[in-house]
Structure formats: structure tokens, C-alpha cells
């Protein structure tokens, strides 16, 4: 269970869920997967291939004749007797793993529901801004806004798991459950050969708590949609990019960029930045309200990205209109800036 602000914990949230047609009370963070235990209950390393000579066989703790001296339980290293391991070299086995677990030409949108992570394939893998791609779940649950990353209580996410249950349409993760040796040899390929996409900062931050750090570091292609929220409204937890919200939001973007900068194998990184003002653009003009997003806050977003230097392909998509005092006019950045000249409200 992730930690939350006390104010959010004590507050009762009521929402309408079309799945059961009732207004019910729910926890705003009830859908978060559990973080990894520390320390881990057991290690997933492979035992030595040979048993030490000084090893003594296992003996039942009894002197009764009914109990015989039994050999040591077979370690995971005995799996090398399988034809898959004994006849195929590691290079060919890795090709088999890639064929089953990886689709390098596709982008996988990662989301969580019911306390665990799932994914859906991107219909437009070449798009830089994947904000509209999350509408694919509406095909599974038509008529309602699925709201990945926001309105989890709308029930569409649970029903959308139908989209990930077809073996022919998705990668076969069951292979990792075959045996420990297969898991150790193949799990890194799952992260290094696939492209991961996250639609919000909080989704990526929660994902970091559920995987080992060296697994996340193995990712080579990553894309993220980050929204700078100024709208809080009645449900401030919808605008969270950090785990707990509140004061952590101030440093959430800089902290995440620092973590991505430490990924040693990251080669392809795309980031779509957008702003959520207090009201939609037309309403801001109608009420004559001044936007809270300005050149100084734009500089904070772009300066944090300077920490990331390893990707060979680094593109930043800016979805707001270019500001009169934009820092992009006077300063060069170590990444490609692309402009989407349209007013966007999340």
C-alpha cells in the first residue's frame, strides 16, 4: 500500500461507476499495485551448475528406519538437462525469447488496474504524442471515458483487460513462469527489446516501485506524457504526478528526470509536455483569466530534461503555443524540440 497524504486518506471520495450503476465510496489510490517488498523474500539467482564435493546429502531429522537417507532436492541447475538448454546455445535461446516476448516495432502503453499492471498495443507506434492513444480502451467499453491515469473508478479499465487476454494479439508472458532458468535468461529482454509508454508521471513513478531498479535500467525505448497541472478542483488526486501528491509535486518532474538520466542503456526517449490550466482556453478568455503557465515555468520543465544525455534519439513535443518570452528562442537544448500548435486542455 503506497503512502498518501493524511488529508487524502481521511477524505471520502464518492464517484459514479457505470459498471454497477451506483454511486459508491472509493479510495483514490485503490488501484495502485503493491511496491516490491524489502528485503525480498527470496532471490531468483541460479544455483551453481555443480554441487560441491563436500556437500552432505539431506537427512531427515529422525532415527526411525521408516525414514531413509534422501538425496538433496534438485537445484535449478538441473534444468540444463532439458533439450532446450543442452542442445540450443544461448544465442539461439535468446532468439526464441525475443520471438515470444518482444515486438520491437510496437509500442506498449503500460497502465494498471485492479492492483496490477497490464498493457495495450499502440495503434500509432510512430506518434510522439500518445495522449490520444489511450482512447483505444473505449472500444472495449464504449460510451464511457476510460480515463487511464485519472478516473480509474469508471470501471472501463477492468473490462478493458479483455484487450490483453487474447494470446494471438499479445506477447506470451507465461513463458517467464516456465522455470527459473528461463526467467533469468529472458526477463531482461522483456525490458530491453520492447518500447514502453506511460501516459502520466504518476503512472511511471508507481511503476518504478514495482520493478527492480536494474530491470528498469534495461529499458532502451521509453516515452512519457507529462502534464503540468494547475487545475486542482474537487479531486486534487487526479492531478498528481508524484506518489503522494501535495508538496511532492514541486520536485516530481526534476526527480523523475534525474532517475531517467541514470538509465545506462536508454537510446530512444520521447517526451510530450502539456499544460492543464484552471479552465479550458476558451473559458480562460471568456472570464479574462491570466494563464498560470509562463516562461519561467517553461524553463523549469526544459532545464530538468538537460540531465538526460544518453539517448541517441531524444525528442520533446511541446503542446502549448509558443510563449512570447519562451526560452526556446534564446537557448539551445541537447534534444529536438517539436511544436504542436494547438491549444490543449487535459
Whether 4 shows a pLDDT value over 60: the answer reads no
Top pLDDT among 283 and 217 is at 217
Tally of CA atoms within 13 A in the half-sphere of 341 that contains its CB: 2
Whether 167 shows a pLDDT value over 70: the answer reads no
Strands (E), 142-282: 195-198, 221-229, 268-276
Whether 1 shows a pLDDT value over 50: the answer reads no
Domain boundaries in the chain?
Answer: 6-35+85-339
pLDDT, residue 104, reads 80
pLDDT in tens, 246-287: 677 788 899 999 999 999 999 999 999 988 776 766 677 777
For the chain, the farthest-separated pair of C-alpha atoms sits apart, in whole angstroms, at 92
pLDDT, residue 274, reads 84
Strand partners, 226: 273
Strand partners, 110: 119
Whether 76 shows a pLDDT value over 70: the answer reads no
199-212 burial, b for 16+ CB within 10 Å, e for fewer?
Answer: bbbbbbbbbeebbe
Nine cell digits for residue 242: 508524484
Q: Judge if the upstream peptide bond of residue 39 is cis by omega within 30 degrees of 0.
A: yes
Residues written for the chain: 346
**Residue 8 three-state SS:** helix
Look at 19-28, 45-54, 159-168 and tell me which has the smallest mean pLDDT.
159-168
Radius of gyration of the chain (CA): 24
φ and ψ of 321, to 5 deg: -70, 145
Q: In what order do the strands lie in the sheet with 336-339?
A: 116-121, 107-113, 195-198, 221-229, 268-276, 313-318, 336-339
Mean pLDDT of the chain: 71
Whether 335 shows a pLDDT value over 70: the answer reads yes
pLDDT in tens, 102-115: 888 888 888 776 67
Average pLDDT on 187-193 reads: 93
Look at 36-40, 97-101, 153-157 and tell me which has the smallest mean pLDDT.
153-157
Whether 176 shows a pLDDT value over 50: the answer reads yes
pLDDT, residue 54, reads 55
> Which of 203, 161, 159 shows the shortest CA–CA distance to 32?
203
Q: How far apart are the first and last CA of the chain?
A: 28
pLDDT, residue 92, reads 94
- Evaluate whether 108 touches 194 at the Cβ level (below 8 Å): yes
Q: How many CB atoms lie within 10 A of CB 176?
A: 18
301-321 burial, b for 16+ CB within 10 Å, e for fewer?
Answer: bbebbeebeebeebbbbbbbe
- In angstroms, the CA 239 to CA 229 distance is 6
- In angstroms, the CA 245 to CA 248 distance is 6
Amino acid at each position: 500500500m503506497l503512502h498518501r497524504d493524511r488529508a487524502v486518506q481521511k477524505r471520502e471520495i464518492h464517484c459514479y461507476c457505470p459498471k454497477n450503476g451506483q454511486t459508491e465510496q472509493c479510495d483514490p489510490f485503490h488501484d495502485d499495485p503493491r511496491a516490491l517488498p524489502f528485503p525480498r523474500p527470496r532471490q531468483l539467482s541460479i544455483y551453481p551448475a555443480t554441487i560441491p564435493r563436500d556437500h552432505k546429502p539431506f537427512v531427515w531429522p529422525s532415527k526411525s528406519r521408516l525414514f531413509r537417507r534422501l538425496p538433496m532436492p534438485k537445484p535449478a541447475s538441473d534444468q540444463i538437462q532439458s533439450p532446450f538448454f543442452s542442445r540450443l546455445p544461448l544465442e539461439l535461446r535468446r532468439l526464441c525469447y525475443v520471438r515470444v516476448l518482444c515486438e520491437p516495432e510496437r509500442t506498449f502503453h503500460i497502465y494498471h488496474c485492479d492492483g496490477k499492471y497490464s498493457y495495450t498495443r499502440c495503434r500509432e507506434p510512430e506518434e510522439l504524442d500518445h495522449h490520444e492513444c489511450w482512447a483505444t480502451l473505449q472500444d472495449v467499453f464504449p460510451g464511457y471515458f476510460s480515463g487511464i491515469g485519472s478516473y480509474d473508478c469508471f470501471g472501463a479499465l477492468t473490462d478493458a483487460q479483455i484487450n490483453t487476454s487474447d494470446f494471438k494479439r499479445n506477447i506470451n508472458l507465461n513463458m517467464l513462469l516456465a522455470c527459473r532458468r528461463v526467467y533469468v535468461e529472458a526477463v531482461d529482454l522483456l525490458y530491453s527489446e520492447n518500447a514502453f509508454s506511460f501516459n502520466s508521471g504518476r503512472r511511471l513513478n508507481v511503476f518504478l516501485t514495482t520493478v527492480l531498479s536494474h530491470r528498469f535500467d534495461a529499458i532502451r525505448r521509453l516515452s512519457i506524457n507529462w502534464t503540468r497541472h494547475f487545475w486542482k478542483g474537487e479531486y486534487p488526486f487526479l492531478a498528481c504526478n508524484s506518489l503522494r501528491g501535495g508538496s511532492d509535486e514541486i520536485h516530481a518532474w526534476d526527480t523523475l528526470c534525474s532517475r531517467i538520466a541514470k538509465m545506462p542503456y536508454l537510446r530512444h526517449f520521447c517526451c510530450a509536455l502539456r499544460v492543464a490550466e484552471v479552465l479550458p482556453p476558451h473559458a480562460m478568455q471568456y472570464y479574462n483569466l491570466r494563464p498560470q503557465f509562463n516562461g519561467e515555468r517553461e524553463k523549469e520543465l526544459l532545464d530538468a530534461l538537460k540531465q538526460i544525455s544518453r539517448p541517441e534519439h531524444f525528442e520533446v513535443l511541446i503542446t502549448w503555443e509558443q510563449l512570447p518570452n519562451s526560452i526556446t528562442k534564446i537557448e539551445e537544448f541537447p534534444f529536438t524540440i517539436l511544436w504542436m500548435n494547438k491549444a490543449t486542455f487535459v
